[in-house]
Structure 1
Amino acid sequence: MRITQNDLNQYLSNQHILNRSFLSTSIDREVAEMFAGEGQQSKMRYTPKNHCALQYSCLCQYLIKQNSTAINIQSLSTRPDEKEILILPFTVFKVKAIKQNYLDDPTASISIEIELEECEDPNDNKNELENSDTSRTSSLSSSADDIKHIEEYQKFKQRKHRLYVIIGVLVLAILLALTFTFIFTFVIKKNSTQNTTNMPMPPTESPLPDCPTIFSRSSWSARPYKNHSNLTLPVKHIVVLTPKPLSSIINQQSCIREIKRFQDYHMDERGWDDIGYNFILCNDNEDQQQIYTGRGWTYIGTHCKGYNGESL
């Protein structure tokens, strides 16, 4: 450390000094000399125009007699080569000698050396004697505890690594889910809507004057009929039925799907030769009415028992 003449006056031979704070020092003299200002003494002694007090490089040598007075923190230090130890507070030292090197040799690397000896506490000595038998056991226990701490640290690192892996997998899964959702919502669904909108209208029969467009059987991919009977024209009755569809009609595709279900039901379940209706009218959600050909104008339908031969 560096001290002034005023600081030096507080150290008197055989005087007792109470340490009131933690002191960081080293068991290596060369390290202690380096921190005391070795080699800089000639510069510290020179103070132009007396603007500040003279400073001296001072090296304190502590003689420690009790194990509880200081702690070796070399393994905890960021610079283990400094061999650092920590002197605990509230320890009493006795000044044994003061060497003022600057009086004998102005070029000395260390100006002042102070030797201090720890004053022994009878109670501490008694405790040390009582604990001497267990010192080896404590040393072994300390080593075992160190090994245990290392193993726990290794396990902690492994758990931490596994946690990072799990978090990475979850983040990746979320990103993939968001990507697929984006593709389905903005690409596939959009293309499906465009295909529905741009779907060409099915083929139609040539309309009669002042009559709406009537789509042919091929527009809804009708199955081949088994047999048809000719209808006597002109018919006497027009029969309008409103069968309930299995699902809601929302567009042209759903309308065609329901017509095919009617034909399958009539031919497979009822055993008829074809779909029972002469024509089918569909209304979608956009209130667009479309007319599809069933058995057509010239063939007898199967829709109203007793009137099939004279009605549409």
Structure 2
Amino acid sequence: MIDLPDAVRAMAVRGPQWQDWVDRLPRLLQTQLDDWALTPDGAPMHGFCSIVVPVRSRDTGPAVLKIALPDEESEHEHLALRRWGGDGAVRLLRAEPHRRALLLERLQTRDLKGLWDIEACEIVASLYRRIHVPALPQLRRLPALVERWTADLTALPRNAPVPRRLVEQAITLGTELIADPTCSATLIHSDLHYENVLAAERQPWLVIDPKPISGDPHYEIAPMLWNRWDELAGYVRDGVRRRFYTLADAAELDIDRARAWVIVRTMHNAMWELTEQDEPDPDWLTMCVTIAKAVQD
């Protein structure tokens, strides 16, 4: 039986769904190892909501077995990876969707955190162009998600500790953006940042861990702005803008549309912090507001 890392066991404190998943995880792992005739080949690793075990098999050689928390974000990961077929993304070898189990090619552990952030932005922009392909009908649709989140944003109290001007701006922009029929025309990753790109042998860099949506390519930029936040200390506004324009220009995205989605996404993040946390993190709220302001001229 696989011994779970302490950090994976600690996920159980996040709530009943997490507790149930962590409790079942050793058996899930063993069952999948047996079913696919896999042999563990290294210490388990983990993401925010998954465990990844290096394995070997007679058929595939070195690979990794990933099992994710069964939620709506992980439901269609296998479909996105299969659609990309290894072009710009980690290659899917096998999938057992109802267990959220994926057998993936083994990549290096080196990600984009070690690179200058602007160089990393250029790499990610080049990957956008490879993974942004026509949408899949099975995926969650961005307009439906944003419609729901906009309703939640509208319900935010007027005295919430974020500028009301930005809240109302995000409501207006979100409503306008999802009225465009192209808003659900493209398969997007939706959580593409520095740690979700790994070095590889067959291609220099490959995308991992999609939370796929049928959406708008311009939606992708925001996570590259709020990750590696501490590095921007002392020049926050200029640092955010430099990342933003590097990504949008290198990927040949429309600046106004990309800016609108950054504002919408950061205000959604602020809303979730205020409504889902017993004690909202003031630093996180400040970051959300700062990014929304920084991308605007």
| Same-fold status (TM-score > 0.5) | no
Decide which structure has greater helix share: 2
TM-score scaled to structure 2, two decimals?
Answer: 0.18
How does the TM-score come out when normalised to structure 1? 0.17
Report which structure shows greater RCO (CA 8 Å, sep ≥6).
2
